[in-house]
Chain A
């Protein structure tokens, strides 16, 4: 380990010549950087996200700007990905759709993360009857057909896009809770947790400062794998007409429109379909790469 010491001097540190050790996180980062697929995926994702975020500024048209005279035209100069039946520019709609899809992916995963980690950590930490009760609740929610659950929520609370985020997040946290609970349970028996208790640390501090950083690896991996699942779910809901409402676009919505007319205008299906597939692929590769990089057994020595 000695040679991996970085001889940086930290000005912020109280001791100007203190060596900042390499954390396990930094080790993981080094390993991730060596994984070409993961890096390529991360680059593609970053590019896609950036393009989507900047859509209002870089998109050639407005997402609701119609050109009925044009109708559906195949890719050509001026409309690189063609236009849909209402003469709306496909590239523009793809970029705007990406905003929605990526945002759903991130926000819903965030919601799932927040609920799942807190719930799972609490359940695992307290154990016994509390754990029993909390996990049975998870089992019950698990048993609900979750698509129908989301549909019910949407019907009940209206088709607000923010609700879509919450609704998806609210079903995706279950697996997260189980993962975190399992990890926390095994962590609880580790001596450093006992040591922390012996030092008089409060439970909340132990959970959030000592336990969660140690389960962050699996959490990050699962989160990167949840994002595509959530995006797929959003696409699916939009496909069913329950998600994002026109004229706003989302990839799922575009795939639906494309699928309706895929014989006459295949470009309407291909562009969003390929984009979604590539995004999902990249997220999965990145998740895989992260899992390898964060693997505890690999990182110990």
Chain B
């Protein structure tokens, strides 16, 4: 039984300029201890997907229009009460955010914030929590943890704060960690350390990780499965290796070609022409069609559905599904 099963998740934002379909009919599942990557460019709905699961979509203007997200075969995260959700988040599933500079309360000592999940979920008493907090801080590689645990966030650098965030998320030993681009706001050397750290912690705790990123390189070295999102939908879902070597969607292909280091030196960088569609307008057919070099007339017409074309490999490209094109 999968740890988390998401079905037909739709999260819309009702704004003055119309309904923004930030996440439109997304389904996926993740097994215990698995590593799932979600890639896509800005505004593709990957963050909103995570926020929906954590119950963090601001309502209003946001609304979960439909769908279910069954956690551990018991609780539907999208429909259960806030109280029930509070029993799960922070304890059984945790999240690491994008920007470590603003993710910690500036007026609270690291120690107090770090052990808060333990205390509020009643895992243990304060004395024990402090001990575990220190241990967690050492685990994530904060030097001089014993000395620095009583510092305040502004006395930590960005990378150190992200470590604290990770320690905080993992302190209750959750079964699922959602990492929402945790390496975007830190510099490259720290990125690698953070990646290694989460990998190490995953091995130790055996938790499942949903890794949200726009960096295909991170996904390649890291995830077992990948979802490619675009305009609030999943365009391709595949085991990592298949995604790179047996790509089944023109968008994924275009993304790969856009990685600068894979392009010939001196040549003009490859970019995908055009811009992502306006999500406040209803998109008929494939959302990528206007920018796709393989697009035909029928790409602009529904139904566009994610279909499995190879074992474990699904694509939303109709032309791929009928094997008209190969890339």
Which residues of B114-130 are within 8 A (CB) of A?
116-117, 120-121, 127, 130
Judged by a CB distance under 8 angstroms, whether A70 is at the interface is: no
Which residues of A239-256 are within 8 A (CB) of B?
none
Judged by a CB distance under 8 angstroms, whether A192 is at the interface is: yes
Stretch at the interface among A46-54, A147-155, A195-203, A278-286: A195-203
Judged by a CB distance under 8 angstroms, whether A160 is at the interface is: no
Contact digits for A5-39, partner B, Cβ 8 Å, 1 yes 0 no = 10000100111011111111100000000000000
Within the complex, the shortest CB–CB distance from A192 to chain B, in Å, comes to: 5
Contact digits for A192-213, partner B, Cβ 8 Å, 1 yes 0 no = 1011111111110100011001
Contact digits for A165-201, partner B, Cβ 8 Å, 1 yes 0 no = 0000000000000000000000000111011111111
Judged by a CB distance under 8 angstroms, whether B89 is at the interface is: yes
Question: In the complex, which residues of chain B have a beta carbon less than 8 angstroms from the beta carbon of A205?
Answer: 120
Question: In the complex, which residues of chain B have a beta carbon less than 8 angstroms from the beta carbon of A19?
Answer: 147-148, 150-151
Within the complex, the shortest CB–CB distance from B133 to chain A, in Å, comes to: 10
Decide: A15 and B107 in contact? CB cutoff 8 A.
Answer: no
Decide: A191 and B97 in contact? CB cutoff 8 A.
Answer: yes
Given known A-B contacts A18-B147, A24-B154, A200-B86, A191 and B134 have beta carbons under 8 A apart: no
Judged by a CB distance under 8 angstroms, whether B168 is at the interface is: yes
Query: Interface size of B by Cβ–Cβ distance < 8 Å?
Result: 46
* Bound CA–CA A23/B109 (angstroms): 8
Decide: B146 and A214 in contact? CB cutoff 8 A.
Answer: no
Decide: A197 and B56 in contact? CB cutoff 8 A.
Answer: yes
Decide: A14 and B97 in contact? CB cutoff 8 A.
Answer: no
* Bound CA–CA A203/B82 (angstroms): 10
Decide: B97 and A194 in contact? CB cutoff 8 A.
Answer: yes
* Bound CA–CA A137/B188 (angstroms): 52
Decide: B105 and A15 in contact? CB cutoff 8 A.
Answer: no
Given known A-B contacts A199-B168, A205-B120, A21 and B97 have beta carbons under 8 A apart: no
Decide: A200 and B89 in contact? CB cutoff 8 A.
Answer: yes
Which residues of A111-128 are within 8 A (CB) of B?
128
Decide: B165 and A199 in contact? CB cutoff 8 A.
Answer: no
Decide: B106 and A15 in contact? CB cutoff 8 A.
Answer: no
Residue from B106, B107, B121 within 8 A of A200 (CB atoms): B121
Question: In the complex, which residues of chain B have a beta carbon less than 8 angstroms from the beta carbon of A197?
Answer: 54-56, 89
Contact digits for A128-143, partner B, Cβ 8 Å, 1 yes 0 no = 1000000000000000
Which residues of A197-235 are within 8 A (CB) of B?
197-203, 205, 209-210, 213-214, 216
Within the complex, the shortest CB–CB distance from A15 to chain B, in Å, comes to: 5
Decide: B89 and A1 in contact? CB cutoff 8 A.
Answer: no
Residue from B94, B99, B147, B150 within 8 A of A191 (CB atoms): B99
Judged by a CB distance under 8 angstroms, whether A297 is at the interface is: no
| Residue of A with least CB distance to B92 | A200
Decide: A199 and B55 in contact? CB cutoff 8 A.
Answer: no
Decide: A198 and B54 in contact? CB cutoff 8 A.
Answer: yes
Within the complex, the shortest CB–CB distance from B302 to chain A, in Å, comes to: 34
* Bound CA–CA A289/B52 (angstroms): 44
* Bound CA–CA A199/B97 (angstroms): 12
* Bound CA–CA A128/B169 (angstroms): 30
Decide: B98 and A191 in contact? CB cutoff 8 A.
Answer: yes
Residue from B86, B99, B151, B154 within 8 A of A201 (CB atoms): B86
Judged by a CB distance under 8 angstroms, whether B91 is at the interface is: yes
Question: In the complex, which residues of chain B have a beta carbon less than 8 angstroms from the beta carbon of A199?
Answer: 89-90, 94, 116-117, 120, 168-169
Within the complex, the shortest CB–CB distance from A123 to chain B, in Å, comes to: 15
> Most chain-B CB neighbours within 10 Å: which of A18, A194, A200?
A200
* Bound CA–CA A13/B150 (angstroms): 9
Within the complex, the shortest CB–CB distance from B275 to chain A, in Å, comes to: 26
Given known A-B contacts A10-B150, A196-B105, A22 and B155 have beta carbons under 8 A apart: yes
* Bound CA–CA A14/B115 (angstroms): 14
Decide: A24 and B152 in contact? CB cutoff 8 A.
Answer: yes
Within the complex, the shortest CB–CB distance from B287 to chain A, in Å, comes to: 28
* Bound CA–CA A5/B87 (angstroms): 38
Within the complex, the shortest CB–CB distance from B240 to chain A, in Å, comes to: 27
Contact digits for B97-114, partner A, Cβ 8 Å, 1 yes 0 no = 111001111111110000
Question: In the complex, which residues of chain B have a beta carbon less than 8 angstroms from the beta carbon of A202?
Answer: 86, 120
* Bound CA–CA A172/B110 (angstroms): 36
Decide: A21 and B116 in contact? CB cutoff 8 A.
Answer: no
Question: In the complex, which residues of chain B have a beta carbon less than 8 angstroms from the beta carbon of A196?
Answer: 105, 116
Decide: B127 and A21 in contact? CB cutoff 8 A.
Answer: no
* Bound CA–CA A121/B165 (angstroms): 26
Given known A-B contacts A18-B147, A213-B108, A214-B105, A200 and B90 have beta carbons under 8 A apart: yes
Question: Top 7 closest A-B pairs, CB basis?
Answer: A21-B151, A200-B90, A199-B90, A200-B86, A213-B107, A198-B95, A191-B103
Can you report 15 A-B residue pairs in the complex whose CB atoms are below 8 A from each other?
A: A13-B150, A17-B146, A18-B149, A23-B109, A24-B107, A190-B102, A191-B99, A191-B102, A192-B105, A196-B105, A200-B85, A200-B88, A200-B117, A213-B105, A213-B107
